[in-house]
Amino acid sequence: MIQQDSLVLSSFYITRYVIDCINAKQLNRFFMANIRAINWN
């Protein structure tokens, strides 16, 4: 029972980590695009 719970928790944290990484990449792209736009103007 405890092992199963820890497995669920670890998979949950891994999923959150992956989502955070994807979000960070998209945010970086967004900010880079904004910085380029500001520099061009």
3-state secondary structure of 41: coil
Q: Which residue range(s) make up the domain with 22?
A: 4-40
User: What is the predicted pLDDT for the residue at 19?
Assistant: 94
CA distances from 41 to 35, 36, 37 (A): 10, 9, 6
User: What pTM, to 2 d.p., does this model score?
Assistant: 0.57
Number of domain units in the chain = 1
3-state secondary structure of 1: coil
Tens digits of pLDDT across the chain (41 residues): 567 888 888 999 999 999 999 999 998 998 888 888 877 75
